[in-house]
Amino acid sequence: MTASLTDTRSAELYRRALELIPGGVNSPVRAMRSIGREPIFIARGEGAELIDADANRFVDYVCSWGPLIHGHAHPNVIAAIAAAAAAGTSFGAPTAGEVELAAEVVRRMDGVEMLRMTSSGTEAAMTALRIARAATGREHVLKFAGAYHGHSDALLAHAGSGLATQGLPASPGVPANVAAGTIVIPWNDLDALAAATERYQLAAIIAEPLPANMGLVPAADGFLQALRERADATGALLVLDEVISGFRVARGGAQELLGVDGDLVIMGKVIGGGLPAAAVGGRAELMRMLAPAGDVYQAGTLSGNPLAVAAGLATLELLDDDAYMRLAASTERLAAGLREAAASAGGSSGGHPVQVVSMPGLLTVFFNERPVRSFADAQACDLDAYAAWCRELLARGVYPPPSQFEAWFPSLAHTDEQIDRTIEAAAAAFACLPACLCPPGCAPIGGVPFRVPEAAATA
């Protein structure tokens, strides 16, 4: 049976927001249009739960899209922010906290010798590419279809036909000549990688070592090593975007977990502990190209903001080896439970199969017959089924990412009881999905069409 959700106050706030904010939201995915409903307005967060404007309570797997690895309102983080705020919210001058945070990052992340703070991942990515172009004297940048590195003009490009094509603008307002400097190829495609690196003189290859903006799509065996090898062979810099994975999947990020190092690394989310903060780091000789040490200009009034720095330091201080072991265990508990929920709801025949892919602190449920290896595979998912499943989860007190192309973010605040409750809600949502997808006035035709293919047993 389909569950329901009280959302009177959220609906009122949305009507008002539509008059004052484009689309009623300040970032597009929050609108929840891709799952066929209006946005839910949040009043507060407590640990692993959200409470909305109508007093509905949810187990939260968005966690502010990744920063809240310790959950909402962790007392250590809140205390650090309060102490910093009491001393002043911004100075436009250096502080000791910036030095301490840079030192902590350098200790954790191999290959990062210096750090430059920014206020957003978009700024950090833009800065990394500016350094790469200055260091190499080249202009072209290689990225991968489905990867999101912020909304700067050069990186809002998508692939055309063929193995390696010049990018086309993916948004109105992006100049075609700017997008043309970005080469876009499929993720996990070694032939396309070879073709692109042979055809173009690249300043940089930019990649998420653990792509999570098309859903979680890990690299195939040897692919990350191929990126490193092709960068070295052609003189390009390898820029690794760890805005999502950095300090989430391991102490040293995905680079430590997967055994690959970047020349430059983009960081965000966890590094700010829930406040606006990001950074670019790398080898000292590259980082010293930035002004005032060098001629590559980058600046930001709120870069290294003392509140964000304090939140980031407090967050990182809590992330020891035991924390990562606990996060990995709870993520796998959730992933295994979701696979079992789909299998028990659907048996071995018919319907919409799912793939559950997980890494420590990251997870995606793909509504797809086969394992997802690229953005094209992700686009082939049953988006209607995912949307209906998400609506049912929300109605049962679970807050998933409202898009098939976004990762789930389990946190250290999620308890076994909350994970079990999530699995129970997921099973009920799977079971009612045929009715949810049925056109108005029709009746579902026997059985629950969900199963987990054998290929999804491991991720």
Active site residue 143: no
Active site residue 261: no
Active site residue 269: yes
CB 312 within 8 A of CB 80: no
Choose among 364, 368, 34: nearest CA to 211: 364
Which residue of the set 7, 61, 143, 148 is catalytic? 148
Which residue of the set 189, 241, 263, 382 is catalytic? 241
Largest CA distance in the chain: 69
First-last CA distance in the chain? 31
Phi, psi torsion values for 112, nearest 5 degrees: -95, 110
CA separation for the pair 120, 275 (Å, rounded): 10
Which residue of the set 263, 269, 324, 399 is catalytic? 269
Q: Which residues are catalytic?
A: 148, 241, 269
